[in-house]
């Protein structure tokens, strides 16, 4: 299984859509929508995220992931708007873990999980490298961190 990070802005590039259409192994590639706020808006101002484009990508057969949920543009509003097309939510603690005690961090993550659970999405936690904190998470939560392995080169 592989992931491809895509900024919302890139969804408006014809080359992005052509690449996704032509890619043969759609079931092996998750599309991660990054939290980066677009530098240039190509959609209506009232439209938070390009819902119709994301719907088409889902219809192509891709799993779509909200990366770094609650950061940047990947807000609760984005989850509500894109809910039918999203299969996984990724929560990152990288930006806050140095400012919050592990016990408090766990409480925050449980509160966020209580909201996300209502959307029936898979949850992935990124950036936790504390063994005790990792072991305290519910078994169904997936983790992504250096605790398990350093990133490997793709090529």
The string of pLDDT tens digits covering residues 48-97 is 789 999 999 999 999 999 999 999 999 999 999 999 999 999 988 888 87
List the 142-144 sheet strands across, edge first: 2-6, 29-33, 63-66, 86-92, 122-126, 142-144
131 in helix, strand or coil? Answer: helix
91-125 confidence digits (pLDDT tens): 888 888 788 887 888 888 889 888 988 999 988 88
Domains and CATH numbers, the chain: 2-144 (3.20.20.450)
What's the distance, Cα to Cα, between the start and end of the chain in Å? 15
pLDDT of 30 reads: 95
pTM metric for this prediction:
0.82
């Amino acid at each position: 299984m592989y992931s491809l990070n895509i900024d919302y802005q890139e969804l408006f590039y014809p080359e992005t859509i052509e690449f996704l259409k032509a890619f043969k192994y759609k079931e092996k590639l998750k599309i991660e929508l990054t939290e980066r706020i677009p530098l240039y808006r190509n959609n209506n101002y009232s439209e938070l995220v390009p819902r119709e484009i994301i719907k088409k990508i889902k219809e192509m057969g891709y799993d779509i992931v909200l990366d770094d949920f609650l950061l940047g543009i990947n807000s609760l509003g984005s989850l509500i708007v894109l809910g039918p097309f999203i299969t996984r939510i990724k929560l990152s603690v990288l930006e806050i873990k140095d400012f919050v005690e592990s016990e408090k961090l766990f409480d925050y993550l449980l509160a966020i999980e209580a909201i996300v659970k209502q959307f029936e999405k898979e949850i992935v936690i990124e950036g936790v490298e504390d063994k005790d904190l990792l072991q305290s998470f519910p078994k169904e939560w997936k983790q992504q961190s250096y605790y398990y392995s350093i990133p490997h080169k793709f090529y």
